[in-house]
């Protein structure tokens, strides 16, 4: 469960010395549902460590089509490789569950990470977990039926949300999954018939997570995988 006092889980594992060096350079960034920031091609000037809420990294196509590349909750941060080298973003960030994050300049984080092995380990652990997720996503999109991918997406959102009810329209879900709205509708009906969810008027209720897990494809990864760096 998340709540308004929770801090980014990744950073909460740092020792006092590293935390004391880092937090003075971070500021609180509150975001509302529907807020968007960043454009593909922009330099990554800041990284956002999510305290609570959900930010989706969305790939936008020239024709206006879009699909989610990855989702960030309190297990991680936006901007990924920018803590190592100056980077450009290839996505737009879309806030789909209101919350807050800690924001830090990319150049400052690079400086701090170069001085702190525990910080580098924490950041690299998240990067590695995200890399695995991204490696799975292309074959997942090519091989797995929409209802399985929808179930996977709902599990990921449920992991990062506060409670069993998620508010999201068919139009939003279609944009995240890169499918037609009719496909979202069919997938929702499939999951509802299985008893995993109920869905009406932009409101998804997770009724049985075990069933939802059984409905999802094998590509679902729990966010805990991102906060257990080895070594």
Enumerate binding residues for Zn ion (CB under 5 A). Answer: 140, 144, 217, 219
Give bridge partners of residue 37 from the DSSP assignment. Answer: 93
> Which is nearer to Zn ion, 46 or 152 (by Cβ)?
152
- Tell me the closest approach of the beta carbon of residue 152 to Zn ion, in angstroms: 6
Q: How many CA atoms lie within 13 A of 130 on its CB side?
A: 20
- Tell me the closest approach of the beta carbon of residue 59 to Zn ion, in angstroms: 17
- Tell me the closest approach of the beta carbon of residue 120 to Zn ion, in angstroms: 31
> Which is nearer to Zn ion, 215 or 219 (by Cβ)?
219
- Tell me the closest approach of the beta carbon of residue 220 to Zn ion, in angstroms: 8
> Which is nearer to Zn ion, 174 or 177 (by Cβ)?
177
- Tell me the closest approach of the beta carbon of residue 149 to Zn ion, in angstroms: 6
User: For residues 28-48, b (16+ Cβ closer than 10 Å) or e, as one string?
Assistant: ebebeeeeebbeeeeebebbb
Q: How far is CA 88 from CA 41, 69, 75, 118, 130, in A?
A: 6, 15, 22, 25, 17
Quick one: which of 118, 116, 109 has its CA closest to 86? Answer: 109
Both tokens of 93, joined, read: 């960030």
> Which is nearer to Zn ion, 22 or 212 (by Cβ)?
212
Give bridge partners of residue 46 from the DSSP assignment. Answer: 105
> Which is nearer to Zn ion, 7 or 217 (by Cβ)?
217
Helix axes 117-143, 146-160, angle to 10 degrees: 150
């Amino acid at each position: 469960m998340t709540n308004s006092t929770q801090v980014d889980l990744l950073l909460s594992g740092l020792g006092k010395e590293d935390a004391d060096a880092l937090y003075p350079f971070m500021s609180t960034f509150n975001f509302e549902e529907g807020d968007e920031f960043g454009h593909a091609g922009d330099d990554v000037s800041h990284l956002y460590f999510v305290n609570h809420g959900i930010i989706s990294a969305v790939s936008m196509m020239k024709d206006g089509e879009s699909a989610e590349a990855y989702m960030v909750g309190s297990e991680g941060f936006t901007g990924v490789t920018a803590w190592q080298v100056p980077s450009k973003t290839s996505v737009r960030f879309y806030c789909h569950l209101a919350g807050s994050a800690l924001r830090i300049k990319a150049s400052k984080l690079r400086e701090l990470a170069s001085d702190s092995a525990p910080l580098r380990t924490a950041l690299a652990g998240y990067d590695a977990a995200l890399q695995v997720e991204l490696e799975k996503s292309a074959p997942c999109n090519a091989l797995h039926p929409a209802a399985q991918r929808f179930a996977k997406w709902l599990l990921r959102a449920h992991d990062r949300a506060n409670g069993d009810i998620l508010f999201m329209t068919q139009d939003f879900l279609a944009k995240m999954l890169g499918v037609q709205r009719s496909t979202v509708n069919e997938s929702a009906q499939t999951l509802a018939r299985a008893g995993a969810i109920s869905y009406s008027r932009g409101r998804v209720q997770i009724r049985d997570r075990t069933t939802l897990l059984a409905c999802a494809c094998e590509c679902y990864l729990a966010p805990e995988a991102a906060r257990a760096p080895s070594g």
